[in-house]
Structure 1
Amino acid sequence: MKKSAANKKPRLIPLSVAALGVVFGDIGTSPLYAVRESLRYVQPNQDNILGVLSLIFWALIVVISIKYLIFIFRADNEGEGGTIALISLLKSKELAFKKSFAIIFLISLFGTSLLFADGMITPAISVLSAVEGLSIIYAPFSSFTISIAFIILLLLFSLQAHGSEKVGHLFGPIMIVWFITIAILGILSIKAHPVILKAVNPWYAILLFKHYHYLTLLILTGVFLVVTGGEALYADISHFGKTPIRLLWFSFVLPALLLNYFGQGADLLFSPQDIKNPFYLLAPHWLLYPLLLLATLATIIASQAVLSAVFSLAKQALTIHILPRMNVIFSSRLIRGQVYVPFINFIMAIGTLSLLITFQTSSNLAAAYGLAVNLVMIIVTFLVAIISYKLWHWGKIAVTLFSVVFLSMDCLFLVANSLKIFQKGWFTIVFAIIGTLIMLCWRNGLMLLREASSKRKITVEEISRKIHSENIIRVPGVAIFIDEPYDESKSCVFRHLESTNTIHEVTLLIDVAIENKPVISIHNRIENIKQTVGVYHIRLHYGFMQAVDIPNTLRICNEMKILPYLSGKTKFTYYLEMVNVFYGSKINVNTPQWQKRIFTGLLNTLPQNINFYHLPHNQTIMIGTYYDI
């Protein structure tokens, strides 16, 4: 026990350094634009600056330090965080929610869609805000900011297929330099004008509300930008653990951010003209070129971290059947869960570059960005409140206090960010609604497909009787028939028997079950359902964070002698259904035709599941079938 504990302590340092490049990249680059946006609608005088800095200070303390790192971090699904983990956690207790689960599930889907929208906006606003520093160095450069940001983002998306493992070890050290640099810049400014430290007093924030009334809501849209990236802290707890993230936040990241924010405020107290870009104008002129380079690298790292999170989110979503199956490439041999999804990368690239061209400035992007993260935070807080009552069995008073304190703050920010829906924030809402509809149509379509396939259901006993009662020819080798998640009919093997009149000496029928847990060990992977002479029915269990690699699972099980009937067998042939779906108005009349049309279009155009199951193409046979839903 002592040895184990001793081994864990040294791992905190490399884990913490790695976390800097992945977890804190987003929130760590907010100083590039947050103070500027917070003071956009008021004069940068002393009272306003102190009020805004007070709001920034308490937003970071209450929203990130208390709500996320203390309370939200508790709601993990065996070490996994994020909306998918919450969906899986709630789904495992679905019966406890009865009819309300459908509404909770729909809200969760909306939150997942918002995270995809966030994944488009973050690279655009981060990189653009860094490149905008060119106009401070030399004003004519401002006309090239869009082109430079476009090229950087295009390269970023183009390189995703190659993975970030080769340069990933540099992310942490670069972010260490970033946080130290912004902290030093802040310290030098605070030292010159220490009066800014009075902003720690929340009374200055209250005075701001008293003076500006409803106009304060516009100020809050900028203040909220300092907590954007907080959702990444929760989503990444599986990669680095809660302790390294908390340790880094309180000992390094939070102090660096506060020093820089207060430093920008101190500079503005005596140089209000610097409001056009208070971050870059905090630095001496000779440091602008290195700072611009460092800021660009930091925003690229933040963008890479967000894209990696989006790929991981997509993989989890398609694993639990709320997104269509796509080609998923595991891009790292060292980091568990690091994946690349080509189709999602293409969608993200089109979306991000379109946003860059359409919105033109980081100020314009800030409206859509703040709204996306704000809605995600509200949904996560709402789901955690439900979990605290239903799963943790908190008392009603405790749940009410949690909801009132944190949801009221989230909702206040939402009221503020909602003011910009018709200005620039419409993108977030439109994209999230479209994404939710696609996920809902896919899930409902799979349920219709499952219902249609159940009408053709054939038991293992019937298959065995057909093999032994008719003149079926036995051929050497192993035939592996894989049932899709919607199909428990076993009709694939039955059609094979009817069309070829042959069967392999060992026939394995496999169901795949994705559990509401992130990881299932190999010892708990195999479930024997039924077996007759030469015909075996098993179920393979996977966690929602794992690759569904059937050949590799069978190989490991064979080596461990878990499946004795495969011992010594080397010739495997895999069989999959190639499904086509037709929709008719007279079947399942309660499901709208437009939902059927979307599901049918997705199913008939997306790639088959041969890649999802990691099946060898030269050993796989597709058997065509169709269903009418």
Structure 2
Amino acid sequence: MSFGFVMNPNQESRLPAKAAHAKLRRANDARGELLMDEAVSETQGTTIADAPKAEKTEEGANKQGFAALTLGALGIVFGDIGTSPLYTLKTVLSDAGDHADQTVHLGALSLIVWTLIVVTTLKYVLLAMRIDNDGEGGILALMSLIGMKRESRPLIIAAGLFGAALIYGDGTITPAISVLSALEGLHTAIPSFDAYVLPATVVILGLLFLLQPFGTATIGRLFGPVMASWFLVIALLGIWGIAQNPSVLVGLSPTHAITYLAHGGFTGFALLGSVFLCVTGAEALYADMGHFGRKPIWAGWFIAVFPALILNYAGQTAIVMKGAPTKDNIFFQLCPHMLLVPLVLLATTATIIASQSIITGAFSMTRQAIQLGWLPRLMIRQTSDEGYGQIYVAPVNWLLMLATIGLALAFKKSDNLSAAYGMAVSTTMLLTTLLLFNAMREVMRWPIAVAGIVAAFFFIVDLGFFGSNLLKIPEGGWVPLALAVMIYTLMRIWHRGITAVHARLGETIQSIDTFFDGIERDGIARPEGTAVFLSRARSETPPLMIWHVRQNRCLYADVLIVTIQTALVPRVAPGKRYKVIQERENVWRVVINSGFMEHLSLEALPHALKAEGHDVDLCKVVYYVAHETIVRGRGDKRVLPRWVEKIFALMERNQAHLTDVLNLPSEQVVEIGRHIEL
């Protein structure tokens, strides 16, 4: 259990390069303003005559910082959606059947283009990214933002948690289908390579996960330039394809999409599930907003990514209308034969970068869930000093590796895996729309009629894609759903168990005055020294301290009661981080407020106490930490169903130790054990 960590009483993504660029930018609330920490010139002390020059220098530095952020966003945010041309149109036309004609081709192109416009551009880029939780985006941040408005919102919590669980499920498929699609391109240049596609995919994925513990801070700086090259190349390939059949541009009109859906019947509806593959990375744009800011992501999308995607999809459609076979990968047929191998290498690199985004996005979301109290403690290790985004979570890494490689081996080809792809993301997008409706009313203060019309429009679109993806369940769509249900269930069990533990510990609570009056009356020994008790209690005597005095009949002269409280915001301002209260003479209570995106530490504790007139040397204190064991309750003490108690006890037993999470020196730690009956 997470002793010493409590949630805010009102409450019920990604990459190494993200953190490197986070130095340049801090989200500055919903206005979308940017603070370029490394790009602001120091103008203090300049003369009036120097002021114009200083302003120009600052303006130039700001432009450089903005360009760096935009380039960084290209490498991190757009990896998933940017590699979708490798398999989307191929899957769409394959599902359309062998007798697809020009109506189908133009209808498919129109559906893809307008899906990118409606879902990615309108919903995520222009709407969702205007709603942030202290600069952070993503479904968990959105859930926390709306959850702050009221104390109990079970439907909001359920939608946010299940949406997060679905992202884990989909994250196991993205690396497998992306790398498979890229390597399958070698068939066009070297047909004999077919037998090596799957083994090579497994090797690449294995190496990718094996390298995670070492971090990718250095190589991460190359992600932006590599992905910028990727988008330039796919745009040029698209232009080359369009030049061969310019009439394809009529497919940009929405009339072809509407006509195809109107006359396509069930086949047209089923095709939406394949069309949806073009926006499977749209959620990342919102989730990564806190790392780069709204404006750099907007710039990257409108200037580079969106035009490149449209051109490439149009180019692929153009060569298909000219007679290119659809059984082979259409994307690679755009390329001249002599350049195929370099293109495959570039595509493979781009898919590895996209996969890296998924992996570290899972790390980031895991940290949020732990801090918010929905998952047990796990060791979260910083792989670089450059920023909070460069982290590594070993259990998540190895589980993702097993699931991803297992899916690649089970499905063998990207065509087979595409059937399982999209189910989780379409469900997440549906849930995000429900959360956005509440955010439009409560955060943006839109009239309910306006919010309802906007949400209804996106809900109908999302529902269409969701319904079409339901048809994929028998073909593999059940895999990410099953993973999501399992993760959601574990999060619910953990939260329910922790709530029960809090209630059980609350039965032994005493007031500070009652407790210390008692130890003075009983003559408890008070040797020199400082005791630090890590506790959930924000106002009363920690049960841990009561147990210690009861068992050992002594208590150090100076006592610090430390509670780490997770707020429903990503980061807490320095001035609001510590709350120091002197309860009695030589008895201090310190409440440390931590954001759900922040690293937990006690290093700054002495500074907070010194500001209140109390000096403490952390090298000389003794930390008291609880070590509880969950046991089956009997009679009235049984508060959890047996199966829930068993799973919760297993999770509690295997969570990371608080001493390790806070990096406490083992020689200064005293553990006190107790059985908790549930």
TM range (shorter): over 0.9
Pair 1:441 & 2:462 matched: no
How many angstroms does 1:363 deviate by? 1.8
Alignment equivalent of 1:26, drawn from 80, 94, 107: 80
Equivalent position to 2:261, from 199, 209, 229? 209
Query: Partner residue of 2:232?
Result: 180
**Deviation of 1:489 (Å):** 5.5
1:612 to 657, 661, 678: 661
Alignment correspondent of 1:554 = 605
Alignment of structure 1 residues 367-386 onto 2, 5 Å: 367-386=419-438
Query: Structure 1 residue 48 and structure 2 residue 104: aligned?
Result: yes
SS in 2 for 1:258: helix
Q: Which residue of 2 aligns with 1:271?
A: 323
Q: Is 1:16 equivalent to 2:67 in the alignment?
A: no
Is residue 307 of structure 1 aligned with residue 359 of structure 2? yes
2:564 aligned counterpart, secondary structure: strand
How far is the alpha carbon of 1:469 from its aligned partner? Answer: 3.0
Structure 2 distance, partners of 1:583, 1:487, is: 29
Correspondence 1:89 to 2:145: yes
Contact 1:450 1:487 in 2 (8 A): no
Select between 4-13 and 500-509 the one with higher mean Cα deviation: 4-13
Out of 195, 198, 202, which is 2:250 matched to? 198
Contact 2:170 2:422 survives alignment (8 Å): no
Tell me, yes or no, if the aligned pair for 1:127 and 1:296 is still in contact at 8 Å.
yes
Q: Is the 8 A contact 1:82 1:234 kept in 2?
A: yes
SS where residue 526 of structure 2 aligns?
strand
Is residue 477 from structure 1 mapped to residue 529 from structure 2 by the alignment? Answer: yes
SS of 1:262's equivalent? helix
Q: Aligned runs of 1:214-613 on 2, under 5 Å?
A: 214-484=266-536, 490-550=542-602, 552-557=603-608, 561-567=610-616, 570-584=619-633, 586-587=635-636, 591-613=640-662
Q: Would you say the 8 A contact 2:512–2:540 is kept in 1? A: no
Q: How far did residue 486 of structure 1 move? A: 11
Q: Number of residue pairs matched?
A: 622
The 1:319–1:488 alpha-carbon spacing in structure 2 relative to 1, beyond 3 Å, is: farther
Q: Whole-Å Cα distance in 2 between the matches of residues 60 and 587 of structure 1?
A: 56
Contact 2:160 2:431 in 1 (8 A): yes
Higher percent of residues as helix: 1
- What secondary structure is seen at the aligned counterpart in 2 of 1:309? helix
Deviation digits for residues 386-425 of structure 1 (CA, Å, limit 9, x no counterpart): 1212333321221221122111001001111100111110
Q: CA deviation at 1:202?
A: 1.2
- Contact conserved, 1:239 with 1:336, CA < 8 A, in 2? no
The 8 Å contact of residues 388 and 599 in structure 2, kept in 1 or not, is answered as no
Distance 1:39 1:574, change over 3 A: same
Residues 328 and 534 (structure 1), Cα distance of their counterparts in 2 relative to 1, 3 Å cut: same
1:453–1:487 CA contact under 8 A, matched in 2: no
Query: 1:65: which partner in 2?
Result: 121
- Which residue type is aligned with residue 602 of structure 1? M
CA contact (8 A) 2:538 2:563 kept: no
Give CA deviations for 1:21-63 in whole Å, capped at 9, x if unaligned. 1100000000000000111122342221111001111111111
The aligned residue for residue 50 of structure 2 is none
Residue identity matched to 1:53: L
Task: Note the residue ranges of structure 1 that are not aligned, 5 or more in a row.
Answer: none
Give matches, 1:149-164, under 5 Å: 149-164=201-216
Partners of 2:177 and 2:209 in 1: how far apart?
15
Q: Deviations over 1:506-563 (max 9, x none)?
A: 210111110011111232111134421121122111111111112x1214435xx324
- Aligned residue for 2:94, secondary structure, equals coil
Tell me whether 523-532 or 69-78 shows the greater mean CA deviation. 523-532
Asked if structure 2 preserves the Cα contact closer than 8 Å seen for 1:123 and 1:153, the reply is yes
| Alignment-mate amino acid for residue 41 of structure 1 | D
Deviation at 1:329, TM superposition (A): 0.6
Say which SS state the counterpart of residue 536 (structure 1) adopts.
strand
Displacement of 1:584 in angstroms is 2.6
Q: Kindly indicate whether the alpha-carbon contact (under 8 Å) linking 2:140 and 2:164 is maintained by their aligned counterparts in 1.
A: yes
- Report the Cα offset of residue 174 of structure 1: 0.6
- Matched to 2:294, the amino acid is K
Find the residue that maps to 1:565 and give its secondary structure.
coil
Whole-angstrom CA distance in 2 between matches of 1:505 and 1:294:
65
AA aligned opposite 1:91 = G
* Matched-pair contact (CA < 8 Å) for 2:493–2:648: yes
Quick one: structure 1 residues 602 and 324, their matched pair in 2 at CA, closer, same or farther if it must change by over 3 Å?
A: same
For the 8 Å contact 2:606–2:618, the answer to whether it is kept is no
| CA deviations over 1:553-576 (Å, ceiling 9, x no partner) | 214435xx3243225674122111
- Residues 1:524 and 1:38: Cα distance change in structure 2 (over 3 Å): same
- In the superposition, the TM-score normalised over structure 1's length comes to 0.95
For CA contacts below 8 A with separation 6 or more, give which structure has more relative contact order.
Answer: 2
Change (3 A) 1:481 1:182: same
Structure 1 residue 70 displacement after superposition: 0.9
Q: Aligned pair in 2 of structure 1 residues 168, 593: CA closer, same or farther (>3 Å)? A: same
Change (3 A) 1:168 1:567: same
Contact 2:627 2:672 in 1 (8 A): yes
Letter in 1 for 2:605: L
Contact 2:536 2:542 (C-alpha < 8 Å) held by counterparts: no
The answer to whether the 8 Å contact 1:510/1:539 transfers is: yes
Task: State the Cα deviation string for residues 177-226 of structure 1 (Å, max 9, x = none).
Answer: 11111111111111121011000111111221233211012221121111
Report percent identity of matched pairs: 35
CA-to-partner distance for each residue in 1:471-502, whole Å, 9 max, x for gaps? 33333332111014899651211222233333
Q: Give the letter aligned to residue 578 of structure 2.
A: I
1:372 positional shift: 1.1
| CA distance 1:567–1:481, change in 2 (3 Å) | closer
Q: Secondary structure at the match of 1:502?
A: coil
For residues 422 and 436 of structure 1, the distance between their equivalents in structure 2, rounded to whole angstroms, comes to 21
Amino acid across the alignment from 1:573:
V
d(CA) in 2 for partners of 1:6, 1:187:
33
RMSD: 1.9
The residue number in structure 1 matching 2:90 is 36
SS in 1 for 2:325: helix
In 2, the alpha carbon distance for the partners of 1:334 and 1:44 equals 52
How far apart in 1 are the matches of 2:329 and 2:169? 26
Residues 268, 275 of structure 1: 8 Å contact kept = no
Structure 2: state its 5+ residue gaps.
1-42, 44-53
Deviations 1:329-348 (A, max 9, x none): 12221133331111111111
